[in-house]
């Protein structure tokens, strides 16, 4: 069973379970062995409960033996980012403030995984409260990139991407507020899908920026991303922003694309603003190869414009920090969380939040409080919301000329730890991903090659209009199947 998990996808594991080549217990044992050996160097996991995972696997095997499997994927483990609630386990958001907080319930996405028999497996490291692009901001130590441990795995879902890339789990859930699924996926050489805002319930996701956050999968291939999306998507009365839609059928679309290996005249728009700035030579070369491949598969390339892209970083860091300031106000260390007693109630707030929150979280709370303050609200927050509307219109106009957009995911491959000490430099590493969150549409990062200079993976990004995940995954899977 030594090769059960390594390099095997969710759909390959499901086929093996159906054919009785292995059991769920054997799969989970492989995961546990991998975590105990490989994760010492990578540190993708904050914690995992081996006994609970094995118990769930044994129950899955019993169901399958009785002909009562909950789905084809019953018994397959999925890693969970530490800002997504799993009942009876900690949900710390990689923060000292919530270090010992145990969730009494499952997030809707986790409950839907369980309903199909998937096994929630461990708590994956992240930038504290999902605020970061490198997984260096975790209060419990940074996660390393499995391809080169001197380099970052990306963030904020760095633990999720690293766990999948290192074959510690076949797939994982992450969250994407400004690229936090797609950027680490590109850095680690895995697939990362950001669904349409509202496609997946946010109930049980600890909020960073409520109008931007979205749960999505990190996986080894596009088909797996579709399988996980199908599982966790769909209406949820517990989340008023969740769209009243049936679950997606994206896995079937992805399988169709992988089998056809053709793009059938799909038109791909290349926004000139995404190529006007400096791209690392390796990224630029792989983008050129991607364009050539798309054309060879029957796709068409056209130039389009997203003129307000130049404002996206500024708009994002006004809106996201404003919403973070409001959302994180609830963590007062009175009802739950780390508490440091002061001389009075106000002093207790200051001491508890000052010691509990890391520097990046404090920085964003301060920024958000400032832009919402009297005298500055109209100048910053209100203006940012107006520009956000213009960014959305840009995407709508671009899609009148094409079916999908094609862009880089990042300006360069994974950088080394400590390389971006200036916060602004770090913020700019998400320059190609944040506009999608502002528009609310869907996008996917797919591995497309290796940077010759660093030996690190490079991803390409496909974007689609809202609720067009099937079109997105069909094209991405076809590209992946040919690109290899």
Catalytic residue chosen out of the listed positions 60, 133, 156, 201: 156
Residue 11's pLDDT is 98
| pLDDT score, position 421 | 81
Count of Cβ atoms closer than 10 Å to residue 422 Cβ: 8
Domain that holds residue 37: 1-484
Instruction: Read off the CATH number of the domain in which 477 is found.
Output: 3.90.1300.10
pLDDT score of 278: 84
Read off the tokens for 242. Answer: 């969740």
How far is residue 311's CA from residue 387's CA, in Å, rounded to a whole number?
8
Catalytic (active site) residue 180: yes
Residue partners of 457: CB distance under 8 A and separation at least 6: 147, 186, 187, 188, 189, 413, 414, 447, 449, 450, 451
User: What is the model's pLDDT at position 2?
Assistant: 44
The total number of structural domains that make up the chain = 1
pLDDT at 355: 87
For residue 135, the 8-state DSSP code is: S
Catalytic choice (180, 233, 325, 429): 180
Residue 422 pLDDT: 85
Q: What is the pLDDT of residues 85-119, one digit of tens each?
A: 999 999 999 999 999 999 999 999 999 999 999 99
* Among candidate residues 172, 170, 169, the one with its CA nearest the CA of residue 157: 172
Which strands make up the sheet holding 404-408, listed edge to edge? 45-47, 119-124, 77-81, 171-175, 215-219, 191-194, 442-450, 457-464, 404-408, 267-271, 300-304
pTM for the model: 0.96
Residue 214 CA to residue 118 CA, distance in Å, equals 20
What is the per-residue burial (b if ≥16 Cβ within 10 Å, else e) of 153-176? bbbbbbbbbbbbbbbbbbbbbbbb
Rounded (5°) CA angle 122-152-461 = 90
Q: How many helices (H) and strands (E) does the chain have?
A: 16, 11
pLDDT of residue 320: 97
CB 250 within 8 A of CB 221: no
Is 71 catalytic? The answer is no
Check if 20 is active-site.
no
Beta strands in 339-470 (DSSP E): 404-408, 442-450, 457-464
Tens digit of pLDDT for each residue in 259-300?
999 999 999 999 999 998 889 999 999 999 999 999 999 999
Number of residues that make up the chain:
484
- Contact by Cβ (8 Å): 126, 91: no
Q: What is the pLDDT of residue 1?
A: 43
Counting as low any pLDDT under 70, the low residues of the chain are 1-5
Catalytic residue among 29, 81, 112, 220: 81
State the alpha helices, DSSP H only, in 216-249.
222-232
* Distance, CA of 440 to CA of 473 (rounded, Å): 17
Query: Using CA of residue 338, residue 341, residue 345, residue 349, what is the dihedral sign?
Result: negative
Residues near 92 by Cβ (< 8 Å), separated by ≥ 6? Answer: 46, 82, 98, 99, 100, 101, 123, 139, 140
* CA 38 to centroid of chain Cα atoms: 22
């Amino acid at each position: 069973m030594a090769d059960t998990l390594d390099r095997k996808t969710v759909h390959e594991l499901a086929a093996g379970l159906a054919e009785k080549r292995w059991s769920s217990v054997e799969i989970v044992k492989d995961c546990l062995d991998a975590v105990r050996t490989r994760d010492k160097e990578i540190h993708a996991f904050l914690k995992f409960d081996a006994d609970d995972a094995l118990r769930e696997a044994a129950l899955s095997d019993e169901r399958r033996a009785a002909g009562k499997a909950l789905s084809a994927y019953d018994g397959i483990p999925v890693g969970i980012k530490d800002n997504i609630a799993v009942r009876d386990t900690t949900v710390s958001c990689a923060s000292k403030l919530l270090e010992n907080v145990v969730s009494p319930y499952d997030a809707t996405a986790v409950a839907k995984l369980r309903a199909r028999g998937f096994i929630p497996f461990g708590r994956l490291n992240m930038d504290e409260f999902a605020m970061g692009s490198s997984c260096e901001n975790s209060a419990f130590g940074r996660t390393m990139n499995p391809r080169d441990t001197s380099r970052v795995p990306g963030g904020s879902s760095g633990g999720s991407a690293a766990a999948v890339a290192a074959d510690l789990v076949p797939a994982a859930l992450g969250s994407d507020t400004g690229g936090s699924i797609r950027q680490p996926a590109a850095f680690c050489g895995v697939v990362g899908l950001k669904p349409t805002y509202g496609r997946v319930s946010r109930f049980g996701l600890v909020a960073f920026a409520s109008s931007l956050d979205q749960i999505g999968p990190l996986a080894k291939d596009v088909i797996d991303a579709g399988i996980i999306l199908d599982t966790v998507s769909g209406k949820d009365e517990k989340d008023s922003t969740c769209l009243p839609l049936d679950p997606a059928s994206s896995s079937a679309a992805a399988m169709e694309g992988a089998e056809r290996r053709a793009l059938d005249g799909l038109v791909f728009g290349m926004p000139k603003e995404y190529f006007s700035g400096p791209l690392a030579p390796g990224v630029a070369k792989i983008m050129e190869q991607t364009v050539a491949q798309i054309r060879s598969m029957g796709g068409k390339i056209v130039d389009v414009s997203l003129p307000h892209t130049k404002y996206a970083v500024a708009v994002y860091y006004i809106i996201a920090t404003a919403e973070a300031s409001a959302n994180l106000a609830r963590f007062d260390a009175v009802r739950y969380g780390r508490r440091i007693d002061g001389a009075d109630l106000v002093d207790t707030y200051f001491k508890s939040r000052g010691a509990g929150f890391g520097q990046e979280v404090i920085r964003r709370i301060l920024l958000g409080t400032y832009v919402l303050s009297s005298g500055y609200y109209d100048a910053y927050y209100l203006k940012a919301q107006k520009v956000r509307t213009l960014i959305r219109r840009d995407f709508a106009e671009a899609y009148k000329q094409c079916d999908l957009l094609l862009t880089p995911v990042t300006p360069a491959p994974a950088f080394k730890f400590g390389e971006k000490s200036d916060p602004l430099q770090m913020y700019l590493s998400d320059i190609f991903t944040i506009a999608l969150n502002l528009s609310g549409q869907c996008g996917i990062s797919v591995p497309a090659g290796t940077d010759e200079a660093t030996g690190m993976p490079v991803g390409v990004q496909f974007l689609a209009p809202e609720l067009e995940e099937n079109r997105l995954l069909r094209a991405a899977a076809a590209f992946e199947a040919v690109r290899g």
